[in-house]
Amino acid sequence: MKRDRRGAQLFDKLFRRANPGNLPVRGLGSGLTIQRYLTRLIWISVVPLILLAAYLGYNSVRNDQSQRDQLAANVAQNLATAIDNELTARIQGLQLLAASPLANDAARREAFYQEAQGYHASFGSHVILADMTQQMLLNTRVPWSTALPILPRPKGRAAVPVAIETGQPAVGDLVPGPVVNEPLVAIVVPGQRHGKTAFLLLTTLTASEFQQRLQRVALPDGWALTLRDSTGAVIAQHAPAGVSAADALSRGARFTAASTRSPWSVQVEIPPDLYRAPIVAATTALALLVLGASLSGLLGGGLAARRLGRAVAQLAQPGVADAPPADIAEIDAVRALLDDAARQRAGAEAESTRLLAQVTESRGALLLALEEQKQAHAALTKSQRLLAETEQMGKVGGWEFDVATGKQTWTPEVYKIHEVDPGFDPTVDEGVNFYAPACRATIEQAVRRAIEQGEPFDLELEIITAKGHVRIVHTIGQADAQQHRVHGFFQDITERKRAELEVRKLNAELEQRVAERTAQLTQANQELDTFAYSVSHDLKSPLRGIDGYSALLQEECAAQLSADGRLFVDNIRQGARQMTTLIDDLLAYSRMERRTLRSVPLPLRELVQAVLAEQSRQIDQQGAEVRIEMPALVVLADRDGVALVLRNLLENALKFSGNAKPPLVEIGARDEGDACTLWVRDNGIGFDMQFHDRIFDIFQRLQRAEDYPGTGIGLALVSKAVTRMGGRVWAQSAPGAGATLYVSLPKYVAPPAPGAASNGEQAKED
């Protein structure tokens, strides 16, 4: 009886839990059924798991997207860094080449051409030398002495004007190559002489070279890698098949890295469909997962609720068919309840198994993300290795120290320069102690100013390594006030300094040789002066005697001489006078070679009129017409030298136009910027231009002396005088069409009036 009473009490307790409030069933009353109650309970249990799965899926997609974006940004940045390193190496090579004394020596430009070929052998790119007017002087891409055009002027950023304006190396945009006939970019290094830019050194890289570099970059399928200049023009592009260099994946993802050494940028582009594909796939999978979980929970919960409701209803209503006998009704009810609980536990285990499978699937996605992160880490490690190799090749390292703690950090190359073990943990004082005693005060003062005043420093000092080797280093430092640290750059420049010392030694030897040569030349000039005096005295005396006795012979014995005898005497006197004139011209040529020239401002028109006044008698005798058309120009030259040039040019024009009716001589001039060009034109017999160079050589004549008397020295004297005054002379002519002789002399530029510069600067500020 006690056992039956305990069974009845247990049944009542379980029934109350299943049917709280003693709600009626099977149409006995209205209220919340067990089926609905269990359905809601299942939803409350399943929804958090669905939300967890949705969060894990979203987080996986977001991590995957973030890692892919980071990969694209790393690809762009690594390529930009590699291009910057290559540009820096080529610029440093050009700077070493610009330091050569041959660079701005026109007489030894061919030797400099050979040095530039060495740069081509080292870097694979050609070298161009240009003057400040951007005229190419040499190009290693073509043979020496080939005629070259001026440098092209691109629409975007031009490297040449930037280098001229800043005095610093510059990298330009894509331009069509005037020699190689393909697109290229220019690297320009200004050549400095006495603190000013004297010339330009350029090297070019064709777009195909960058195209080859981009083709070697491994990209995921469908990605595009593009190198653009400052105008957005494509220099090179590594794109999927079917995408041209002009196409842009504008609606996809784009990652840009700017070059620090040039105005270029590197872009990684991912097509929109490829970029959104993982998101679409993950979203679809997540939606299907939620839908499946919802349907599974709904169906499973409904079935379980119906079965439990039927069982409870049957147990709650006595007299139902198949009901257990009354004597064991409580035991059967308890067993039925236990069986139902077991079935519910089995259903929960099945649901747990399903959720565990979902968690396992999420774990697989997480492992895949970790693998991709590992690959990205490997790529980053590779980039760091390339950076370390670059530091090793350039003997460049970095350093920093904490201002508060004094703890110093070095990169591996700095350890190598100091010849210490990488395990060495230096402090600031230990780092300073590596400097030579004579340099320690300098570096200590520089570091102190950087900390206290934020003043950067750039020094070249000696250090003594841990192994006792003396090295010269280039150290640059600056303070970071926000981070409370000082950091900088450290480079071993020992080899470069040795090379500079060798160059200075060679320059000293060259100066010694020049001094010795100058002394020899001075002695030779003194000997030449002695010889000229001897020629003037010893040769002219016999000639005067010949001419004098011939004149006496004509006067005293003219009646006794035959016609042939008188002709012979005339020829003797004419020959003596010709010889005297030749000696005078030779002495004038010799004096022009040796005399000291004094360049002063000369009004060209006034000097021309003075020479015409001197030659007015000869002009009147020939009945020649002289026309002058020239502006008021002032040249910087020697007065006697210019007068000699004008006198010889006028005499030459009058001589060769003597047979014209009437003889006409035109004298003019024009301003050509840095120079003034004077010309003398006649309407005489002219000459063939194939003999142009001969007319300025000494003793070179194109006509017979019997037809046009002279010594053949006049135009040679003109050429010598103009050359010594820093100008040049040339001619234009044709047989029977007269001749025009041109003389170019430096133009005189008056210095600005006192206070003009300050006034101009004040006006600019206003």
**Quick one: what percent of the chain has pLDDT higher than 90?**
9
Say whether pLDDT at 32 is over 90. Answer: no
Question: How do beta strands 625-629 and 664-671 pair?
Answer: parallel
- Give 206's pLDDT tier (boundaries 50, 70, 90): confident
Note whether 637 and 725 are within 8 A (CB).
yes
Least confident of 190-194, 581-585, 663-667: 581-585
Distances in whole angstroms, Cα of residue 442 to Cα of each of 227, 266, 459, 477, 637: 44, 42, 9, 13, 50
Residue percentage of the chain with pLDDT more than 70? 74
| Listed residue (170, 166, 142) closest to 158, CA to CA | 170
Mean of the per-residue pLDDT values of the chain: 78
Over residues 411-431, the pLDDT tens digits come to 888 888 889 988 888 888 888
Residues 393-405, mean pLDDT to the nearest whole number:
79
pLDDT at 274: 76
- pLDDT at site 145: 85
**How far apart are alpha carbons 695 and 702 in whole angstroms?**
7
Q: Are 550 and 572 in contact (CB under 8 A)?
A: yes
pLDDT score at 304: 65
pLDDT surpasses 50 at 25: no
The answer to whether residue 704 scores a pLDDT higher than 60 is no
- pLDDT tens track for 719-755: 877 888 888 889 888 887 788 889 888 888 877 766 5
* Predicted confidence (pLDDT) at residue 677 exceeds the cutoff of 50: yes
Give me Rg for the CA atoms of the chain.
50
The per-residue DSSP string of 451-488 comes to: HHH---EEEEEEEE-TTS-EEEEEEEEEEETTTTEEEE
Q: Residue 209 in contact with residue 227, Cβ under 8 Å?
A: no
Helix (H, G, I), strand (E, B) or coil at 169: coil
How many residues belong to the chain? 766
- Tokens, residue 118: 């060495």
- What's the pLDDT at 527? 61
Q: Is the pLDDT of residue 99 over 80?
A: yes
Given the DSSP bridges, would you call strands 664-671 and 675-682 parallel, antiparallel or unpaired? antiparallel
What is the C-alpha separation between 741 and 681, in angstroms, rounded? 7
- Predicted confidence (pLDDT) per residue in 745-763, tens digit: 888 887 776 655 444 444 4
More confident residue, 677 or 588: 677
pLDDT in tens, 470-512: 999 999 998 887 778 888 888 888 888 888 888 988 998 898 8
Summarize pLDDT for 585-638 with one digit per residue, the tens: 556 655 556 566 687 888 888 888 888 888 888 888 888 888 888 888 888 888
Confidence of residue 278 (pLDDT cuts 50, 70, 90): confident
pLDDT band of residue 24 (cuts 50, 70, 90) is very low
H or E element in which residue 28 lies? none
More confident residue, 263 or 291: 263
The answer to whether the pTM exceeds 0.75 is no
Assess whether pLDDT exceeds 80 at residue 109: yes
pLDDT of residue 321: 46
Report d(CA 633, CA 688) in Å as an integer.
Answer: 32
| Residue pointed to by tokens 């009716």 | 661
Asked if residues 410 and 397 have their Cβ atoms less than 8 Å apart, the reply is yes
* pLDDT tens-digit readout, 522-544: 666 666 656 655 665 556 667 66
Residue 127: predicted pLDDT: 92
Burial 200-232 (b: 16+ CB within 10 A, else e): bbbbbbbbebbbebbeeeebeebbbbbbbbbee
